[in-house]
Structure 1
């Protein structure tokens, strides 16, 4: 049976990876359909990468909310206020920059508001349970939210994250696919759908989702690494090489990417490049599980 390469799945951003000066700032305005500012909107800001709630804020009398000290990357923004349809959207915070966005909330009548309120209550409950690492209960809450409002992609996305934590691969894939169907431009939905497919070794199906994800986020080394792994499993070594090169360009101590580069360059008979990358790999991780193989390869290449 063909041996497949494993994805390197990073779920936590380690402290110290980024320094404080790369943090960005969110400056956002919330308005109604007539462009009037909406005061008192409850806002939750959730990291797509870490799947945890980062900040909770409210809009001021100008409909504005500001959050400083935000790590670069994609965030899910959830907005809610009585009398308006809740909104779940996605934004990217740039490195050391102020990222500005405007969101529009639609007014709803009382009957619709009641159903939406029930949906949102369950969504908030699910997020709280997810933070408490009660993933099965969180999945139940998100499922209940969907019963009241099946049009919110964020409900499906967070349901997928809960099933992912429970290692329910088929269920998480179904949820992420639905989130993508409702919001095909979402970075998170594309990334998670691609990853879920890759875990099931459906690499050809995973590829287009990863392609979309890397188009939308060009500064995530883990994303490019996992995309490279998908390409290796499809036999597309040249494109995989480019993906791993991008990973080490973004993060110059990305250990596993150097190992992959070394082995790919061997396949291309580029001895000098193979040696350089394998030596870099060993200098970064001399005790890595693949270190003995890397040393054997170097010994052979230097004969």
Structure 2
């Protein structure tokens, strides 16, 4: 209640550092207790939105402990609109400006319910449109995530208003769920790679193993499994980390998971590749996925795939 009445112009528990690089805002979470998770941490949210007071970006990326979270599309629109709104409404209502930085969906709902210049600013800055249909800021700020060593980012949330058709665990330990969606939308091929289920300790082991491989590259190289064995605390972790590391450093990355599914015949990427999700043909049906390639990942995966496989990636 105190925060609602008086607001908080700072993010006291957030230790993230931000920088705008081209059309992206990059936030390094480091030792931040919020981990740069914009859905869960209002403090980290306030840091990002405060950095967007006069800038507009297409993507917000947060990094911590070898894991990257990418906010794009409507999530990025909510963050940039909240930054504009907070800046412009501050002279009229400083409490509402602070609320917009920490909880943009609630601030939008409040602003729309008022008359006069505050409601006008919610419309003019795009905050009203960006937050439309969302009940909470947590719901609005869903991310695509993945290890920093990966060429792809994966959306964890299932599609809204969809029904689960079936579920299958692949030989790579990735889990595939197919969802039926209503209207004219393609059905969803939702994949969860094994590394998406890593806990913090296992992810840290993956990062250390990757650093060992990268450092040894100039000295003749180090096999991913050897690197994993050198840094892991036990054999089971070493085996899991070695398999994931080999997939991302010498293999096809997430395409290995997709093509481990014998129902999949083709993978399609639509330009601009880093701004759109991959599609697959599964059992003869074209489906959208929850996968987006990173800007560098598209070229890397395409060239690697052409060298090593006869299956289609276009």
Instruction: Please state which band the TM-score falls in when normalised by the shorter chain.
Output: under 0.3
Which has the larger strand fraction? Answer: 2
Q: What TM-score results when the alignment is normalised by the length of structure 2?
A: 0.27
